[in-house]
Amino acid sequence: MFALGISAAGTAVVTSAGGVAEFDAVVLAAGASTSHLAAQVGIYTPPLLAHHVRFTFAVDGSGWQSWIDKPADGLSTYQHEAGPGRWAVGGQVDAVEVAWERGRESAVAASRRVIADYAARFLTVRPEIVDSLYCTTVPNLGDGVEFRRNGPILAVYGDNLMKFAPVLGEALAEAAVSGTTPSVASLAQDRT
């Protein structure tokens, strides 16, 4: 999708490689691309991005499936088994080091240094990094998820959305049909 608009009749106008098409409803869930597409139809979602990398180490049987660590002092991490003999570690690296304007290469190098040092000091993994996974995050959102609507277009954005994907999919489909705007509070209420 290249562009989004709203027609005089109130339908959503989508421009893509396939041409221009009109729809009664559009759910915009384009991750890092959401902000600029949403802005085209007057919806604000945070435009700032940061770099993030998760690194994988070899381990001789950790005996653990996952681990989240948020010490008062020191590096916050999330860690999990990433296959047999593989342990993946992501950390909350200094925001300045992973800021968008630092560039991917510099942010990856800084993250690699921090996580390798952490692993050497605190984990029983082998010290070499055997794999990595890069992505972008929205700074300061934490586990937040937000919904914004303008007419027929409903945008969703947030960080750590994967674990909520089944609930979000259902809620977004319902909202697209009914024309309503979900909220975290309404989702929690509907499911308790």
Ligand X SMILES: Cc1cc2nc3c(=O)[nH]c(=O)nc-3n(C[C@H](O)[C@H](O)[C@H](O)COP(=O)(O)OP(=O)(O)OC[C@H]3O[C@@H](n4cnc5c(N)ncnc54)[C@H](O)[C@@H]3O)c2cc1C
* Residue 49 in contact with ligand X, rule: CB under 6 A: no
Residue 35's identity, in one-letter code, is S
User: Total binding residues for ligand X by CB under 6 A?
Assistant: 15
End-to-end CA distance of the chain: 36
- Under 8 Å between Cβ of 82 and 88: yes
3-class SS at 139? coil
Residue of 85, 88, 86 whose CA lies nearest to 77 = 88
Tell me whether residue 19 is exposed, middle or buried, using C-beta atoms within 10 angstroms of its C-beta: 0 to 12, 13 to 18, 19 or more: exposed
* Residue 133 in contact with ligand X, rule: CB under 6 A: yes
* Residue 185 in contact with ligand X, rule: CB under 6 A: no
Identify the DSSP state of 100. G
Contacting ligand X within 89-128 (CB under 6 A):
90
Which of 31, 179 has the CB closer to ligand X? 31
Q: Give how far the C-alpha of residue 188 lies from the chain's centroid of Cα atoms, to the nearest Å.
A: 20
* Residue 163 in contact with ligand X, rule: CB under 6 A: yes
* Residue 21 in contact with ligand X, rule: CB under 6 A: no
* Residue 66 in contact with ligand X, rule: CB under 6 A: no
Q: Which of 60, 162, 166, 191 binds ligand X (CB under 6 A)?
A: 162
- Segment interacting with ligand X (CB under 6 A) among 6-14, 17-25, 104-112, 161-169: 161-169
- Segment interacting with ligand X (CB under 6 A) among 29-37, 103-111, 117-125, 177-185: 29-37
- Under 8 Å between Cβ of 115 and 89: yes
* Residue 33 in contact with ligand X, rule: CB under 6 A: yes
Q: Which two tokens stand for residue 141?
A: 């959102």
Beta-bridged to residue 21, according to DSSP, are 14
Distance CA 156, CA 151 (A): 14
Which of 52, 148 has the CB closer to ligand X? 52
Which of 9, 183 has the CB closer to ligand X? 183
Binding site for ligand X (CB under 6 A): 1, 29-31, 33, 52, 54, 90, 133, 135, 159-163
